[in-house]
Amino acid sequence: MAETLPIRETAQGSAHARHGSNIGQPVTRRDGELKVTGAARYAADHRPPGLAYAAMAVSTVARGRVAGLDVAAAKAHPGVIEVMTPANRPALAQDPDAKHHPFMFRMDLLQNDRVRYANQPIAVVIAETLEAATEGAALLAPRYEAEAPAATLADGEVFVPRAVGVGSPADLAVGDVEAGIAGAVHRVMATYDTPAQYHNAMEPHAIVAEWTGDGLSIDTPSQGLAMARGRIAGLFGLKPEAVAIRSPFLGGGFGSKGMLSGPQVLGILAARLVGRPVKLVLSRAQMYGPVGHRAPTRQTLRLGADGEGRLTAVHHHTRTASSRFDDFFEAASDVSHTVYASPAIRTSYDAVRLDTGTPLFMRAPGEAPGSIALESAIDEMAAACGMDPLAYRLLNYAETEPMSGKPFSSKALRACYEEGARRFGWEGRPLAPRTMRDEQGLLVGWGVGTATFPALMFEAQARAVIRRDGRGIVETGAHDMGQGAWTAFAQIAADSLGLDIDAVDFRAGHSDLPDAGIAGGSAHTATAGMAIHHAGAAVIARLAELAMGDERSPLFGAGNAGVVARGGRLLRRDDETRGETFSAILDRAGLAEVEGKGSSSDGGPAAGDYAKHAHGAVFAEVKVDPDLGQVRATRLVGAFAAGRIVNPHLVRSQYLGGMIWGVSFALHEKAVVDPRTGRVLNADLGEYHVPVNADVPSLEAILVAEEDPHVNALGIKGVGEIGVTGSAGAVANAVWHATGVRVRQFPIPIEALIV
Ligand code: MOS
């Protein structure tokens, strides 16, 4: 049922774990061996008996209707079992266009012949083999009645959305921005364009679905198992308990697997139609449409500063796009609420509707595109004030959150600037651009960017058990997208139970387990981790009760002094020589095990009202060919402070991954949308540029110490997304410093650098 990893701790992992606290140790990934030997089974690796294979046919137009499909040709193809179209698609209990709350995204499940975006599923062919299904889908030869699509931010009618991001106001202000700009000595007004980006997780969306009587057995990658289960149950009129989803490993998610997607449901419908288990895996190209993307933005920054360079006003306006049929608005301006002190700040939005799949969360949604614009504009202001960009950021350092006026729960950003700058060797950077060259004559530039991401917490549950044999079991339906959740949670579980990590079986990745919330918003470790922490504490409290109330126990009457759990023993807090093993306590009580439950919200909200964010400073070096404009990021140093670090190995790799995405944002990544057809022209990993090894510079991530007494009892902030922020801006600013050319379009086109 539940997934438990067959763990063999590496020597390194265990050695660290045995001495004291597991949290904070660089424990080797528990699933590492499974991954590198290929033993880890991903959704599409499952082949239940009787499996049939489904292939989607997707629209080649972005707007219109499907006027005809050659279903007969596809059905006549050897091996094809059935062709699912709006004519025979099994009934759903819920309209896939119904919307009961803002984060229930509309799906295209063959409800009619409308085409709302390119790559929309328009039929599913089910066959005995993947080849037959794929060939059958090709034989459908759809005819369309096509209409002209709206494809870019320049198309369509502009409106102000009701809310952006996860419910932020579309217009928010403190102070008098216009007065601040009017009275400023220095002004910057600049517009920055960021492109649509598509999630390119190594593992495409996939599902193996099998109807078992009235229930469903599913293998599919999910960043939100309980939500996926609820949505499936709703769509098929089932009780949630009738749906079992296994998702032990994800080959990346980046937000695109946070919500159940239409193609996953099509796999379930196909299984129902043919009465067999069905596997449906998206092709690379099919990832560009029905499973979300990062929307393009056009951001206008208006900044004012006084004679000393202090900001007098910040206005951050974002124009973005959603689909024609649903709402998701990239909250790019909101980063300006947090980073730089200013007496007047305004963030505003408007949007257009495009014939595109609905945009969605993508790693550092909002902050990633928002921070590249803000960090560029701040750099422009530093230059206008004749100041070093790092000194400029320190001058405008926010001691309290500028927009809300709240104190920060913790903020070691100054230390990030200092440690990062020292390590990078920022001192001695010439102020003027285009003044450094390397021995080959390449232009060299150095840039800095501030990283920030909210420290969020959601709701999660966990269950913990200590057995008479002294082993612990901790269960929560958590998700490992590759970030190392299996390991970090096992560390938290071990500490909460007072056990060595190899004495803990950690179970996750299954919808039958307690709801671990969503692996998103960089909040998974804090959220599910706190549920684990409280579940463990509940077990230990139960054991302590048993021991302290039993006069045969050395802990009898420990009462007020209390006990601590360590190494499988309960010890008197005031005299650690007195104690006994968990096994002894359970033995005497005649119990096989004790159980405890925990929730992320146990213990209630922390006292006080704080602005909670992780912070960082990223320093970048680029080299630019003065003749060709070719840019190479050569060196990045990021220093990040994110509260307590559960596992420095894993956290470092999250930061590095984020920084690589920052390089990608600044220099490589862009969906090229054909304005005539609304199709993505580079819908594959060959033409959609993400950094390859040769593009990744020397990278260093510094883990800056930070204690946060307010975010949660463990002091954990998120680390998954912050690395993207700051890094992109640092690279862009380094390009300016190398060339003297300020490019406000991302990724920076090399032709803009040939002067
Ligand atoms: Mo992340 S975009 O919250 O998976």
pLDDT digits over 211-241, tens only?
Answer: 998 899 999 999 999 999 999 999 999 999 9
Same domain, 81 and 19: no
Tokens at residue 200, please? 């390119």
Mark whether 721 is an active-site residue. Answer: yes
3-state secondary structure of 333: helix
Same domain, 687 and 586: no
Q: How confident is the model over 643-670, as a mean pLDDT?
A: 98
Tokens, residue 623: 């080299």
- Three-state secondary-structure class, residue 584: helix
Q: Which parts of 213-354 are beta strand (E)?
A: 215-219, 243-246, 278-281, 297-305, 311-323, 345-354
359 CB within 6 A, ligand 1: no
* From 9, 375, 721, 751, the catalytic residue: 721
Residue 137 phi/psi, 5° resolution? -60, -35
Mean pLDDT of 439-443: 97
Indicate whether residue 258 lines ligand 1 (CB < 6 A): yes
Displacement of CA 221 from its chain's centroid (Å): 14
Q: Is residue 604 part of a domain?
A: no
| pLDDT given at position 212 | 95
Q: Is 661 in the pocket of ligand 1 (CB under 6 A)?
A: no
pLDDT single digits (tens) 675-699: 999 999 999 999 999 999 999 989 9
Instruction: Look at residue 574 and tell me whether its pLDDT is greater than 50.
Output: yes
* Beta partners for residue 510, in sequence order: 246
In contact, 231 and 216? CB cutoff 8 Å = no
| Ligand 1 atom closest to 365 (CA) | 2
17: pLDDT strictly greater than 60: no
Choose which residue among 197, 254, 481, 524 to substitute to test ligand 1 binding: the one with the highest number of ligand atoms within 8 A of its C-beta.
Answer: 254
pLDDT for res 8:
44
The pLDDT value recorded for residue 18 is: 38
Same domain, 583 and 654: no
Neighbouring-strand partners of residue 190: 301
Q: Are residues 178 and 315 in the same domain?
A: yes
Domains contained in the chain, number:
4
**753 within some domain:** yes
Q: Considering 599, 621, 643, which residue would you say is the last residue of a domain?
A: 599
Cβ count near 162 (within 10 Å): 11
For 302, the domain range is: 152-199+292-405
Location of structure tokens 């438990």: 4
* Pair 113, 182 in one domain: no
Type of residue numbered 565? A
Whether residues 15 and 122 share a domain: the answer is no
pLDDT of residue 156: 86
Tell me the CATH number at 105: 3.90.1170.50
Looking at every residue in the chain, the average pLDDT score rounds to 95
pTM of the model: 0.96
Q: Which two tokens stand for residue 79?
A: 């091996």
pLDDT digits (tens, 9 = 90+) for 508-561: 999 999 999 999 999 999 999 999 999 999 999 999 999 999 999 999 988 777
Percent of the chain with pLDDT over 90: 94
Among protein residues, the one with the nearest Cα to ligand 1's atom 4 is 255
- Lowest average pLDDT, out of 5-19, 70-84, 186-200, goes to 5-19
Q: Is 316 found in the same domain as 238?
A: no
Cβ of 365 less than 6 Å from ligand 1: yes
pLDDT band with cut points at 50, 70 and 90 for residue 5: low
The single-letter DSSP state of residue 684 is S
